[in-house]
Structure 1
Protein backbone atom coordinates (compact mmCIF):
# COMPACT_ATOMS: atom_id res chain seq x y z
CA UNK A 1 0.00 0.00 0.00
CA UNK A 2 1.31 3.46 -0.93
CA UNK A 3 2.33 5.61 2.01
CA UNK A 4 0.24 8.72 2.64
CA UNK A 5 1.85 12.05 1.89
CA UNK A 6 4.00 13.55 4.61
CA UNK A 7 2.22 16.56 6.11
CA UNK A 8 4.50 19.60 6.42
CA UNK A 9 4.08 22.76 8.48
CA UNK A 10 6.24 25.63 7.23
CA UNK A 11 7.32 28.24 9.81
CA UNK A 12 8.93 31.24 8.09
CA UNK A 13 8.37 34.95 8.69
CA UNK A 14 9.28 36.25 5.21
CA UNK A 15 6.20 35.83 2.94
CA UNK A 16 8.28 35.63 -0.24
CA UNK A 17 10.65 33.00 1.18
CA UNK A 18 7.64 31.20 2.64
CA UNK A 19 6.06 30.88 -0.81
CA UNK A 20 9.32 29.82 -2.52
CA UNK A 21 9.90 27.15 0.13
CA UNK A 22 6.33 25.92 -0.19
CA UNK A 23 6.76 25.49 -3.95
CA UNK A 24 10.09 23.71 -3.47
CA UNK A 25 8.63 21.29 -0.90
CA UNK A 26 5.59 20.43 -3.02
CA UNK A 27 7.81 19.68 -6.03
CA UNK A 28 9.09 16.64 -4.13
CA UNK A 29 6.88 13.55 -4.40
CA UNK A 30 5.30 12.46 -1.15
CA UNK A 31 5.09 15.86 0.58
CA UNK A 32 2.33 18.42 1.03
CA UNK A 33 2.34 21.70 2.96
CA UNK A 34 -0.74 21.70 5.18
CA UNK A 35 -0.12 25.03 6.87
CA UNK A 36 2.19 28.00 7.33
CA UNK A 37 3.10 30.19 10.28
CA UNK A 38 5.09 33.42 10.46
CA UNK A 39 6.59 32.96 13.94
CA UNK A 40 7.31 30.26 16.47
CA UNK A 41 4.37 31.03 18.75
CA UNK A 42 1.89 30.70 15.88
CA UNK A 43 3.82 27.64 14.70
CA UNK A 44 3.44 25.85 18.06
CA UNK A 45 -0.31 26.43 17.99
CA UNK A 46 -0.59 25.11 14.43
CA UNK A 47 1.45 22.04 15.38
CA UNK A 48 -1.19 21.29 18.01
CA UNK A 49 -4.10 22.03 15.64
CA UNK A 50 -2.82 20.39 12.43
CA UNK A 51 -0.57 17.58 13.81
CA UNK A 52 2.00 17.69 10.96
CA UNK A 53 4.57 14.95 10.47
CA UNK A 54 7.34 17.42 9.71
CA UNK A 55 8.07 21.06 10.58
CA UNK A 56 10.39 23.05 8.32
CA UNK A 57 11.36 26.29 10.01
CA UNK A 58 13.63 29.32 10.13
CA UNK A 59 15.69 30.55 13.10
CA UNK A 60 15.31 34.33 12.87
CA UNK A 61 11.62 35.01 13.58
CA UNK A 62 9.68 37.53 15.68
CA UNK A 63 7.94 36.72 18.98
CA UNK A 64 9.52 33.23 19.25
CA UNK A 65 12.65 32.30 17.32
CA UNK A 66 13.57 28.87 15.98
CA UNK A 67 15.86 27.93 18.86
CA UNK A 68 13.15 28.49 21.46
CA UNK A 69 10.50 26.94 19.21
CA UNK A 70 12.31 23.60 18.84
CA UNK A 71 13.06 23.70 22.57
CA UNK A 72 9.32 24.03 23.27
CA UNK A 73 8.51 21.25 20.79
CA UNK A 74 10.82 18.87 22.65
CA UNK A 75 9.75 20.11 26.09
CA UNK A 76 6.12 19.36 25.20
CA UNK A 77 7.22 15.96 23.80
CA UNK A 78 5.41 16.66 20.54
CA UNK A 79 5.75 13.81 18.05
CA UNK A 80 7.01 15.83 15.07
CA UNK A 81 10.31 16.03 13.19
CA UNK A 82 12.10 19.27 12.36
CA UNK A 83 14.23 20.44 9.44
CA UNK A 84 15.84 23.87 9.69
CA UNK A 85 16.27 26.28 6.77
CA UNK A 86 18.00 29.44 7.96
CA UNK A 87 20.65 32.05 7.27
CA UNK A 88 21.97 31.45 10.80
CA UNK A 89 25.35 29.83 10.23
CA UNK A 90 27.10 30.15 13.60
CA UNK A 91 28.13 26.85 15.12
CA UNK A 92 26.47 27.58 18.48
CA UNK A 93 23.02 27.90 16.89
CA UNK A 94 23.51 24.91 14.60
CA UNK A 95 24.66 22.80 17.55
CA UNK A 96 21.62 23.77 19.64
CA UNK A 97 19.25 22.81 16.85
CA UNK A 98 20.97 19.48 16.24
CA UNK A 99 21.05 18.73 19.98
CA UNK A 100 17.28 19.27 20.00
CA UNK A 101 16.83 16.67 17.29
CA UNK A 102 16.73 18.59 14.01
CA UNK A 103 16.79 16.03 11.20
CA UNK A 104 18.85 18.35 9.00
CA UNK A 105 20.02 21.96 8.79
CA UNK A 106 20.13 23.88 5.50
CA UNK A 107 21.90 27.22 5.32
CA UNK A 108 20.35 29.95 3.15
CA UNK A 109 20.80 30.45 0.30
CA UNK A 110 20.46 26.80 -0.68
CA UNK A 111 19.87 24.92 -3.90
CA UNK A 112 16.64 23.03 -4.59
CA UNK A 113 18.62 19.82 -5.14
CA UNK A 114 19.96 20.06 -1.57
CA UNK A 115 16.44 20.34 -0.13
CA UNK A 116 15.20 17.57 -2.43
CA UNK A 117 17.97 15.29 -1.16
CA UNK A 118 17.03 15.98 2.45
CA UNK A 119 13.32 15.39 1.86
CA UNK A 120 13.99 12.15 -0.01
CA UNK A 121 16.15 10.93 2.88
CA UNK A 122 13.43 11.96 5.32
CA UNK A 123 10.78 10.10 3.33
CA UNK A 124 12.78 6.86 3.52
CA UNK A 125 13.51 7.50 7.20
CA UNK A 126 9.80 8.05 7.97
CA UNK A 127 8.82 4.80 6.25
CA UNK A 128 11.39 2.87 8.24
CA UNK A 129 10.31 4.52 11.49
CA UNK A 130 6.61 3.83 10.87
CA UNK A 131 7.08 0.10 10.77
CA UNK A 132 6.05 -1.31 14.15
CA UNK A 133 8.82 -3.85 14.58
CA UNK A 134 11.93 -4.49 16.63
CA UNK A 135 15.20 -3.52 14.95
CA UNK A 136 18.47 -5.37 14.67
CA UNK A 137 21.74 -3.43 14.96
CA UNK A 138 22.22 -3.76 11.18
CA UNK A 139 18.76 -2.31 10.49
CA UNK A 140 19.31 0.51 12.98
CA UNK A 141 22.70 1.34 11.43
CA UNK A 142 21.08 1.50 7.99
CA UNK A 143 18.52 4.03 9.25
CA UNK A 144 21.03 6.17 11.11
CA UNK A 145 23.71 6.26 8.42
CA UNK A 146 21.11 7.01 5.75
CA UNK A 147 19.84 9.87 7.92
CA UNK A 148 23.25 11.40 8.58
CA UNK A 149 24.76 11.07 5.12
CA UNK A 150 24.58 13.45 2.18
CA UNK A 151 25.65 12.66 -1.33
CA UNK A 152 26.88 15.65 -3.30
CA UNK A 153 28.93 15.63 -6.48
CA UNK A 154 29.31 11.85 -6.19
CA UNK A 155 30.91 12.07 -2.73
CA UNK A 156 29.20 10.74 0.39
CA UNK A 157 29.86 12.56 3.67
CA UNK A 158 28.83 10.73 6.84
CA UNK A 159 28.87 13.04 9.84
CA UNK A 160 30.30 10.44 12.21
CA UNK A 161 33.29 9.95 9.89
CA UNK A 162 34.33 13.61 9.75
CA UNK A 163 37.59 14.42 11.55
CA UNK A 164 37.18 15.72 15.08
CA UNK A 165 36.32 19.42 15.09
CA UNK A 166 34.75 19.48 11.62
CA UNK A 167 31.05 20.22 11.32
CA UNK A 168 28.89 18.84 8.48
CA UNK A 169 26.87 22.06 8.14
CA UNK A 170 29.99 24.24 7.87
CA UNK A 171 31.48 21.77 5.40
CA UNK A 172 28.38 22.05 3.20
CA UNK A 173 28.46 25.86 3.46
CA UNK A 174 32.07 26.01 2.29
CA UNK A 175 31.34 23.66 -0.63
CA UNK A 176 28.36 25.73 -1.71
CA UNK A 177 30.41 28.93 -1.44
CA UNK A 178 33.20 27.47 -3.58
CA UNK A 179 30.69 26.12 -6.09
CA UNK A 180 29.84 29.72 -6.96
CA UNK A 181 33.47 30.79 -7.51
CA UNK A 182 35.17 30.87 -10.89
CA UNK A 183 38.74 31.47 -9.68
CA UNK A 184 40.84 29.74 -7.00
CA UNK A 185 40.62 31.26 -3.51
CA UNK A 186 42.99 31.22 -0.56
CA UNK A 187 42.00 30.09 2.92
CA UNK A 188 41.85 33.75 3.97
CA UNK A 189 39.50 34.63 1.10
CA UNK A 190 37.24 31.68 1.92
CA UNK A 191 37.26 32.62 5.61
CA UNK A 192 36.23 36.19 4.78
CA UNK A 193 33.49 34.97 2.43
CA UNK A 194 32.01 32.54 4.97
CA UNK A 195 32.67 34.52 8.15
CA UNK A 196 34.92 32.03 9.93
CA UNK A 197 38.53 32.06 11.14
CA UNK A 198 41.27 31.53 8.56
CA UNK A 199 42.76 28.58 10.45
CA UNK A 200 39.30 26.96 10.53
CA UNK A 201 38.81 27.52 6.81
CA UNK A 202 42.18 25.92 6.09
CA UNK A 203 41.22 22.75 8.00
CA UNK A 204 38.06 22.32 5.95
CA UNK A 205 39.85 23.13 2.69
CA UNK A 206 42.59 20.61 3.40
CA UNK A 207 39.94 18.00 4.22
CA UNK A 208 38.07 18.66 0.96
CA UNK A 209 41.34 18.59 -0.98
CA UNK A 210 42.18 15.20 0.55
CA UNK A 211 38.69 13.93 -0.29
CA UNK A 212 39.25 14.78 -3.94
CA UNK A 213 36.61 17.53 -4.07
CA UNK A 214 39.00 20.48 -4.46
CA UNK A 215 41.95 21.16 -6.72
CA UNK A 216 44.97 22.93 -5.25
CA UNK A 217 46.43 25.87 -7.17
CA UNK A 218 49.81 26.96 -5.79
CA UNK A 219 50.46 30.57 -6.78
CA UNK A 220 53.91 32.14 -6.60
CA UNK A 221 54.25 35.86 -6.11
CA UNK A 222 57.30 37.96 -5.37
CA UNK A 223 59.11 37.63 -2.10
CA UNK A 224 57.68 35.21 0.44
CA UNK A 225 56.09 31.79 0.54
CA UNK A 226 53.77 30.55 -2.23
CA UNK A 227 50.02 30.88 -1.61
CA UNK A 228 47.78 27.82 -1.69
CA UNK A 229 44.48 28.50 -3.42
CA UNK A 230 41.56 26.13 -3.83
CA UNK A 231 38.88 25.60 -6.45
CA UNK A 232 36.13 23.03 -6.86
CA UNK A 233 37.14 20.12 -9.07
CA UNK A 234 35.16 20.44 -12.29
CA UNK A 235 33.51 17.52 -14.05
CA UNK A 236 35.39 16.65 -17.20
Structure 2
Protein backbone atom coordinates (compact mmCIF):
# COMPACT_ATOMS: atom_id res chain seq x y z
CA UNK A 1 0.00 0.00 0.00
CA UNK A 2 1.14 3.52 -0.79
CA UNK A 3 1.03 5.63 2.38
CA UNK A 4 0.97 9.38 3.01
CA UNK A 5 1.72 10.61 6.55
CA UNK A 6 0.42 14.01 7.67
CA UNK A 7 1.82 15.03 11.06
CA UNK A 8 3.24 18.34 12.35
CA UNK A 9 5.13 16.96 15.37
CA UNK A 10 8.64 15.95 14.17
CA UNK A 11 9.11 13.27 16.85
CA UNK A 12 5.74 11.65 16.16
CA UNK A 13 6.46 11.82 12.43
CA UNK A 14 9.75 9.96 12.94
CA UNK A 15 7.97 7.37 15.04
CA UNK A 16 5.22 6.88 12.43
CA UNK A 17 7.78 6.38 9.68
CA UNK A 18 9.87 4.03 11.85
CA UNK A 19 6.79 1.93 12.65
CA UNK A 20 5.64 2.01 9.03
CA UNK A 21 9.00 0.68 7.81
CA UNK A 22 8.58 -2.36 10.05
CA UNK A 23 5.38 -3.51 8.33
CA UNK A 24 5.59 -5.56 5.13
CA UNK A 25 3.43 -4.37 2.26
CA UNK A 26 3.63 -0.66 3.17
CA UNK A 27 5.44 1.95 1.07
CA UNK A 28 5.90 5.56 2.20
CA UNK A 29 4.90 7.89 -0.65
CA UNK A 30 5.54 11.16 1.21
CA UNK A 31 5.29 12.90 4.55
CA UNK A 32 4.12 16.44 5.24
CA UNK A 33 3.04 18.66 8.11
CA UNK A 34 0.07 20.66 6.81
CA UNK A 35 -3.16 20.25 4.86
CA UNK A 36 -2.29 22.35 1.75
CA UNK A 37 0.76 20.18 1.09
CA UNK A 38 -1.29 17.04 1.74
CA UNK A 39 -3.91 18.17 -0.79
CA UNK A 40 -1.21 18.74 -3.44
CA UNK A 41 0.29 15.32 -2.79
CA UNK A 42 -3.10 13.60 -2.96
CA UNK A 43 -3.81 15.37 -6.26
CA UNK A 44 -0.55 14.23 -7.83
CA UNK A 45 0.30 10.92 -6.18
CA UNK A 46 -1.48 7.58 -5.95
CA UNK A 47 -2.24 7.09 -2.24
CA UNK A 48 -3.97 4.06 -0.73
CA UNK A 49 -3.67 4.94 2.96
CA UNK A 50 -3.56 8.27 4.77
CA UNK A 51 -2.14 8.49 8.31
CA UNK A 52 -3.55 11.79 9.52
CA UNK A 53 -3.32 13.94 12.63
CA UNK A 54 -6.37 15.95 13.70
CA UNK A 55 -4.60 18.83 15.43
CA UNK A 56 -2.43 20.45 12.76
CA UNK A 57 -1.49 23.88 14.14
CA UNK A 58 -4.44 26.11 13.15
CA UNK A 59 -5.96 23.38 10.97
CA UNK A 60 -8.19 20.39 11.63
CA UNK A 61 -7.41 17.12 9.89
CA UNK A 62 -11.09 16.19 9.75
CA UNK A 63 -11.47 18.93 7.15
CA UNK A 64 -9.39 16.85 4.77
CA UNK A 65 -11.38 13.71 5.64
CA UNK A 66 -14.63 15.50 4.73
CA UNK A 67 -13.15 16.66 1.42
CA UNK A 68 -11.99 13.17 0.48
CA UNK A 69 -15.39 11.72 1.30
CA UNK A 70 -17.14 14.34 -0.87
CA UNK A 71 -14.75 13.48 -3.70
CA UNK A 72 -15.42 9.75 -3.17
CA UNK A 73 -11.66 9.14 -3.13
CA UNK A 74 -10.65 5.52 -2.64
CA UNK A 75 -8.28 6.25 0.25
CA UNK A 76 -8.35 4.53 3.62
CA UNK A 77 -7.73 6.87 6.56
CA UNK A 78 -6.26 6.16 9.98
CA UNK A 79 -6.34 9.05 12.43
CA UNK A 80 -3.30 9.30 14.72
CA UNK A 81 -4.01 12.09 17.16
CA UNK A 82 -4.20 13.41 20.70
CA UNK A 83 -7.81 14.39 20.04
CA UNK A 84 -9.94 12.22 22.33
CA UNK A 85 -13.06 14.41 22.59
CA UNK A 86 -16.24 12.43 22.12
CA UNK A 87 -17.47 14.80 19.41
CA UNK A 88 -14.30 14.25 17.35
CA UNK A 89 -14.45 10.47 17.80
CA UNK A 90 -18.12 10.41 16.73
CA UNK A 91 -17.48 12.48 13.62
CA UNK A 92 -14.50 10.29 12.68
CA UNK A 93 -16.70 7.22 12.98
CA UNK A 94 -19.45 8.88 10.94
CA UNK A 95 -16.94 9.79 8.23
CA UNK A 96 -15.84 6.16 7.99
CA UNK A 97 -12.19 6.35 9.02
CA UNK A 98 -10.59 2.92 9.10
CA UNK A 99 -9.13 3.30 12.60
CA UNK A 100 -8.40 5.84 15.32
CA UNK A 101 -5.17 5.81 17.36
CA UNK A 102 -4.92 8.08 20.39
CA UNK A 103 -1.42 9.32 21.23
CA UNK A 104 0.64 7.90 22.80
CA UNK A 105 0.26 4.49 21.14
CA UNK A 106 2.48 1.42 20.87
CA UNK A 107 3.69 -0.50 17.84
CA UNK A 108 1.32 -3.42 18.40
CA UNK A 109 -1.72 -1.14 18.11
CA UNK A 110 -0.21 0.65 15.10
CA UNK A 111 0.50 -2.65 13.37
CA UNK A 112 -3.02 -3.89 14.09
CA UNK A 113 -4.55 -0.82 12.44
CA UNK A 114 -2.37 -0.97 9.34
CA UNK A 115 -2.68 -4.75 8.98
CA UNK A 116 -6.45 -4.37 8.89
CA UNK A 117 -6.14 -1.66 6.22
CA UNK A 118 -3.79 -3.85 4.17
CA UNK A 119 -6.18 -6.79 4.37
CA UNK A 120 -9.11 -4.58 3.32
CA UNK A 121 -7.06 -3.25 0.39
CA UNK A 122 -6.21 -6.79 -0.74
CA UNK A 123 -9.79 -7.99 -0.48
CA UNK A 124 -11.16 -4.97 -2.36
CA UNK A 125 -8.59 -5.49 -5.12
CA UNK A 126 -9.62 -9.14 -5.45
CA UNK A 127 -13.40 -8.69 -5.52
CA UNK A 128 -15.21 -10.41 -8.41
CA UNK A 129 -17.62 -8.51 -10.66
CA UNK A 130 -20.46 -9.60 -8.37
CA UNK A 131 -19.49 -10.13 -4.73
CA UNK A 132 -20.71 -13.16 -2.78
CA UNK A 133 -21.82 -12.88 0.83
CA UNK A 134 -18.52 -14.35 2.03
CA UNK A 135 -16.66 -11.58 0.17
CA UNK A 136 -18.84 -8.92 1.79
CA UNK A 137 -18.47 -10.50 5.23
CA UNK A 138 -14.69 -10.49 4.89
CA UNK A 139 -14.77 -6.75 4.18
CA UNK A 140 -17.26 -5.61 6.80
CA UNK A 141 -16.38 -7.86 9.72
CA UNK A 142 -13.43 -6.93 11.92
CA UNK A 143 -12.05 -10.46 12.21
CA UNK A 144 -10.73 -10.70 8.65
CA UNK A 145 -7.06 -11.04 9.65
CA UNK A 146 -6.77 -14.69 10.51
CA UNK A 147 -4.60 -15.50 13.53
CA UNK A 148 -1.77 -17.97 13.24
CA UNK A 149 -2.40 -21.50 14.43
CA UNK A 150 -0.99 -22.34 17.87
CA UNK A 151 2.74 -23.06 17.60
CA UNK A 152 2.92 -21.74 14.02
CA UNK A 153 5.69 -19.23 13.35
CA UNK A 154 5.38 -16.33 10.89
CA UNK A 155 7.01 -16.82 7.51
CA UNK A 156 10.79 -16.46 7.64
CA UNK A 157 11.21 -17.40 11.32
CA UNK A 158 12.63 -20.71 12.54
CA UNK A 159 12.19 -22.51 15.84
CA UNK A 160 15.95 -22.84 16.42
CA UNK A 161 16.62 -19.13 16.00
CA UNK A 162 13.59 -18.27 18.12
CA UNK A 163 14.99 -20.45 20.90
CA UNK A 164 18.36 -18.71 20.55
CA UNK A 165 16.79 -15.25 20.95
CA UNK A 166 14.59 -16.45 23.82
CA UNK A 167 17.64 -17.75 25.70
CA UNK A 168 19.40 -14.43 25.22
CA UNK A 169 16.32 -12.58 26.51
CA UNK A 170 16.07 -14.84 29.58
CA UNK A 171 19.66 -13.94 30.44
CA UNK A 172 18.44 -10.36 30.92
CA UNK A 173 15.39 -11.19 33.05
CA UNK A 174 14.66 -8.35 35.43
CA UNK A 175 16.49 -5.83 33.27
CA UNK A 176 15.90 -4.01 30.00
CA UNK A 177 17.86 -4.84 26.85
CA UNK A 178 18.13 -3.75 23.23
CA UNK A 179 18.28 -5.39 19.83
CA UNK A 180 21.99 -4.53 19.65
CA UNK A 181 22.74 -6.33 22.91
CA UNK A 182 20.97 -9.53 21.87
CA UNK A 183 22.56 -9.37 18.42
CA UNK A 184 26.03 -9.35 19.95
CA UNK A 185 25.24 -12.14 22.40
CA UNK A 186 23.42 -14.42 19.96
CA UNK A 187 25.67 -13.88 16.95
CA UNK A 188 22.63 -13.04 14.80
CA UNK A 189 22.19 -9.87 12.73
CA UNK A 190 20.25 -6.98 14.24
CA UNK A 191 17.62 -7.25 11.50
CA UNK A 192 17.04 -10.94 12.29
CA UNK A 193 16.96 -10.39 16.05
CA UNK A 194 14.46 -7.54 15.58
CA UNK A 195 12.06 -9.88 13.75
CA UNK A 196 12.15 -12.42 16.58
CA UNK A 197 11.75 -9.74 19.25
CA UNK A 198 8.72 -8.41 17.37
CA UNK A 199 7.24 -11.92 17.35
CA UNK A 200 7.81 -12.29 21.10
CA UNK A 201 6.22 -8.89 21.72
CA UNK A 202 3.20 -9.92 19.64
CA UNK A 203 2.89 -13.10 21.74
CA UNK A 204 2.93 -11.06 24.94
CA UNK A 205 6.20 -12.53 26.22
CA UNK A 206 8.17 -9.28 25.95
CA UNK A 207 7.29 -5.64 26.50
CA UNK A 208 8.58 -3.11 23.97
CA UNK A 209 9.25 0.53 24.82
CA UNK A 210 10.80 3.37 22.87
CA UNK A 211 12.53 6.64 23.57
CA UNK A 212 14.35 9.25 21.50
CA UNK A 213 18.13 9.39 21.60
CA UNK A 214 20.39 12.37 21.14
CA UNK A 215 20.12 12.26 17.35
CA UNK A 216 16.34 12.02 17.47
CA UNK A 217 15.93 8.45 16.18
CA UNK A 218 13.65 6.16 18.22
CA UNK A 219 15.50 3.55 20.27
CA UNK A 220 13.63 0.40 21.30
CA UNK A 221 14.16 -1.47 24.55
CA UNK A 222 12.64 -4.73 25.76
CA UNK A 223 11.72 -6.34 29.07
CA UNK A 224 10.67 -9.91 29.88
CA UNK A 225 6.99 -10.32 30.75
CA UNK A 226 6.67 -14.12 30.90
CA UNK A 227 9.97 -15.63 32.04
CA UNK A 228 8.59 -19.19 32.25
CA UNK A 229 7.31 -19.15 28.67
CA UNK A 230 10.57 -17.66 27.40
CA UNK A 231 12.54 -20.31 29.27
CA UNK A 232 10.43 -23.06 27.67
CA UNK A 233 11.02 -21.56 24.22
CA UNK A 234 14.75 -21.48 24.83
CA UNK A 235 15.02 -25.06 26.05
TM > 0.5 fold call: yes
Deviation at 1:83, TM superposition (A): 0.6
How far apart, CA to CA, are the structure 2 residues paired with 1:75 and 1:35? 23
Query: Are residue 76 (structure 1) and residue 68 (structure 2) matched?
Result: no
Query: Which structure 1 residue ranges, 5 or more long, are not aligned?
Result: 1-5, 152-233
* Residue in structure 1 matched with residue 138 of structure 2 by the alignment: 142
After TM superposition, the runs of 4+ consecutive aligned structure 1 residues lying more than 3 A away are none
Indicate if the aligned counterparts of 1:122 and 1:147 stay in contact, CA closer than 8 A: no
TM-score normalised by length of structure 1: 0.58
How far apart, CA to CA, are the structure 2 residues paired with 1:53 and 1:11? 14
Computed over aligned residues only, the root mean square deviation of the Cα atoms, in angstroms, reads 2.3
How far apart, CA to CA, are the structure 1 residues paired with 2:18 and 2:132? 38
Deviation at 1:139, TM superposition (A): 2.3
* Residue in structure 2 matched with residue 104 of structure 1 by the alignment: 99
Query: Are residue 9 (structure 1) and residue 10 (structure 2) matched?
Result: no
* Closer/same/farther in 2, CA of residues 22 and 96 from structure 1, 3 Å limit: same
How many residues align? The count is 149
Listed as ranges, the matches of 1:24-43 within 5 Å are 24-43=19-38
How far apart, CA to CA, are the structure 1 residues paired with 2:72 and 2:37? 18
Higher relative contact order (CA 8 A, sep 6+): 2
* Residue in structure 1 matched with residue 81 of structure 2 by the alignment: 86
How far apart, CA to CA, are the structure 2 residues paired with 1:64 and 1:42? 12
Deviations 1:55-109 (A, max 9, x none): 0010000353111111111122222110111111111101111211200001111
Deviation at 1:147, TM superposition (A): 6.5
Indicate if the aligned counterparts of 1:41 and 1:64 stay in contact, CA closer than 8 A: no
Query: Which structure 2 residue ranges, 5 or more long, are not aligned?
Result: 148-224, 229-235
